[in-house]
A = this chain, B = another copy of it.
Amino acid sequence: MIKQGSLSPVSTPEKAEATRRLTPRGAATRARIVAAALELMYVKGVNATTLDDVRAASNTSKSQFYNHFTDKEDLVRAVVEARAAQVLERERGYLLRLKSFRGLIRWRNALVQRNALQNGAYGCGLGSMASELADQDEVARSTLAESFAEWEGLLAAGLRRMQESGDLKQDADPEKLATGLMAALQGGYLLAETAHDIAPMEIALDMALDHVKSFLVP
């Protein structure tokens, strides 16, 4: 889980202000805290997760927490960014190479299968945080909005590739289709989570895919 080798994507040693002190093993502690919070806030919800939960799950102490974060809000934002990075990384794996309708179906199947593992519980890692934080933390909301936009951008780029290769009609609007797919996905997650049944998620995604299909060139 914790890669010692590749840490700190943010170097910038000088440029004080937000400058983090140097960090040998301390970075690993921070990573453990974020990892624990990532999991806990996903299954319990952000507000229902206490710092003590995080401390216990990460095997750290209070002082370590406050060495790396100014307060709980700071942690939440780090978790949001970590979740966004994780989801987008996963999605890039599917969507960067997307260039056919079959690829879209594979994408759908992977999401459904992943969600089926937990019977729909907890919903989408990004969506559940968005619902809880959008009207509570403006910074988090903004990060989440950008992440959704990037996710939709990956979809739109794939659809555009299908358009350029002649699979998708020229009058299709990749951006709007991507937004529609994302809404179907998120709505599907929510209904599946509520019903404890992934069927509505499948139906929602299939309907969206059917709509995309109607734009395929015969």
Q: Is A76 an interface residue (CB 8 A)?
A: no
Copies of the polypeptide in the assembly: 2
Cβ 8 A contact of A185, one of B44, B47, B48, B187: B187
The count of residues in chain A whose C-beta lies closer than 8 Å to any C-beta of chain B is: 47
Q: Is A104 an interface residue (CB 8 A)?
A: no
Q: Is the interface of A mostly helix, strand, loop or mixed?
A: helix
Contacts of A44 in B (CB 8 A): 135-136
How far in angstroms is the closest Cβ of chain B from A43? Answer: 7
- C-alpha gap A45/B135 in the complex (Å): 9
Q: Is A176 an interface residue (CB 8 A)?
A: yes
> A183 with B194: in contact, given A121-B135, A128-B131 (CB under 8 Å)?
no
Q: Is A71 an interface residue (CB 8 A)?
A: no
Q: Is A200 an interface residue (CB 8 A)?
A: yes
A interface residue numbers (CB < 8 A to B) = 43-45, 47-48, 121-123, 127-128, 130-132, 134-136, 141, 144-145, 148-149, 176-177, 179-180, 182-188, 190-191, 193-196, 200-201, 203-204, 207-208, 210-211, 214
New contact pairs (20) apart from A177-B207, A179-B204, CB-CB < 8 Å: A44-B136, A121-B134, A123-B131, A130-B190, A131-B132, A131-B190, A144-B194, A148-B191, A148-B195, A179-B203, A180-B203, A180-B207, A183-B183, A183-B187, A183-B207, A184-B207, A184-B208, A185-B187, A187-B187, A211-B211
